Amino acid sequence: MVEMVSRPYARAFEAFAAGNPDILCLSADLTSSCEIDGFRDRHPDQFVSLGMAEQNMMSFAGGLGLAGFRPFLHTFGVFMYRRPYDQLIASIAYPRRKVRLMGFLPGVTTPGGMTHQAIEDIAVMRSIPNMTILETGDATEVESICAAADSVDGPVWCRVLRGSVPRLFDTPIRLGEMRVLAAGTDVLVVTSGICTEEAMRARAALAKAGVSIRHLHLHTIKPFDAAALLDHIGSVKHGVVTLENHVTEGGVGSLVAETMADAGIGKRLIRLGLKDSFAHGGSRPYLMRYYGLDALALVRGIADLTGAAFDITEEDLAAARVDEVHSLVKAEAL
């Protein structure tokens, strides 16, 4: 049974930032929702409340960067780029300010529906020069993302998980590397974020069905080690399946597609994720099932790629975690 870690970001950020005179914690009215309420209460001198005004927060952070500070911005990921995109470009990305953009509730991890779901942020960030992109897939990565992000000489976009987070890995994020979770020879599966746990659930059932999976987990999406990916693609017989908590355009699937096309790789690629579609509000397991982001969707994708018909049902997959959408901790789940 996987270990569940409660609010790993809250502890990790405080441990990393408290007492560092060059780090400031910026918040846009989602302080407890981003698990920095304890930091605010214990380290008010390092906490800057900027209210529900993200455009100002971006340029303000750029000004702090000019003064030599490394601000960590906290809000829901979706609010950190859709409205203040112009400011993100002009005040942060272009001048390479050391601003750490901690975007919470990536993709369908929020029940808040379209306005709350960052589903195209990676596509946007990948196209911005000077931007680094990190995504957390487990508690260990959440615990290590502050140090990883703060080691970058420039702005960093981070997809951060909150609340109860499974621990899948025992080593921290090493910037620019990828995790090799399985070294099979039939199909390469590339996942990131919460989809990695789904792929891990599917792997055991697929192994029983006789499919040898090679599984890569990406915590660093930009910069990206294309040569390493090509080596892995060269090690599998059939081709590649990607699964991401994001639209299939511009994210990890596109990254893999571009890498394959650039190198002239003739193998098949199946990209799983939100298929040119917005999502609606609901629980995470429901949304992952409904939009085809879960272990079962991956099994279907691998069947498509290999031409095999698997007799794998939901019952054959390792038990899904079902979080309570509403809890006493976050009554509104936002």
Partner 1 sequence: MRNEKSTEEVALGVRRRVFEHAMRNNGGYLSQACSAAEQLAWLYNEALTLGAPTLPMIPGPFAGVPSADNPGYHTGAGYNGPAAPHLDRLFIAPAHYALVAYATLVEVGRMAPEGLAMFNRDGSSVEMIGAEHSPGMEVHNGTLGIGLSTAAGLAYGRRRRGETGRTWVFMSDGEVQEGQTWEAVQACAFHGLEVRAIMDVNAQQCDGAMSSVMEVGDIRQKFIAFGAACVEVDGHDLAAIRQAAAERHDGKPLIILARTNPFHAMSILEERFPRLHYVRFTSEEERARFNLAIAEDLDIDPIDYAD
Where do contacts with partner 1 occur on this chain (CB under 8 A)?
A: 48-51, 53, 55-56, 58-69, 86-87, 90-91, 94-96, 129-130, 153-154
Number of Cβ within 10 Å of residue 47's Cβ equals: 19
Closest approach of partner 1 to the CB of residue 223, in Å: 9
- Phi and psi of 101, rounded to 5°? -95, 100
Which of 91, 136 has the CB closer to partner 1? 91
Closest approach of partner 1 to the CB of residue 54, in Å: 8
Which of 64, 296 has the CB closer to partner 1? 64
Report in angstroms the alpha-carbon separations of 224 from 18, 98, 169, 218. 31, 20, 20, 9
H/E segment holding residue 5: strand 3-6
- Nearby residues of 109 by Cβ (< 8 Å), 6 or more positions away: 161, 194, 245, 284
Which of 38, 154 has the CB closer to partner 1? 154
Closest approach of partner 1 to the CB of residue 19, in Å: 15
H helical segments located in the chain: 8-17, 37-42, 54-66, 85-87, 121-126, 139-150, 195-208, 226-234, 252-263, 284-290, 295-306
SS3 at position 273: strand
Closest approach of partner 1 to the CB of residue 137, in Å: 26
Which of 48, 78 has the CB closer to partner 1? 48
Which of 131, 190 has the CB closer to partner 1? 131
Which of 55, 164 has the CB closer to partner 1? 55
What is the distance between the alpha carbons of residues 39 and 23, in angstroms, rounded to a whole number? 12
CB 259 within 8 A of CB 294: no
- Phi and psi of 217, rounded to 5°? -115, 130
Closest approach of partner 1 to the CB of residue 56, in Å: 4
Within its chain, how far is the Cα of 253 from the centroid? 13
Q: What is the dihedral of CA 167, 169, 174, 177, to 10 degrees?
A: -120
Closest approach of partner 1 to the CB of residue 238, in Å: 37
Closest approach of partner 1 to the CB of residue 228, in Å: 20
Which of 68, 264 has the CB closer to partner 1? 68
Closest approach of partner 1 to the CB of residue 69, in Å: 5
- Phi and psi of 181, rounded to 5°? -95, -20
Closest approach of partner 1 to the CB of residue 107, in Å: 28
Which of 78, 99 has the CB closer to partner 1? 99
Q: How far apart are the first and last CA of the chain?
A: 27
- Residue 93, token pair as written in the block: 């990305």
Which of 102, 168 has the CB closer to partner 1? 102
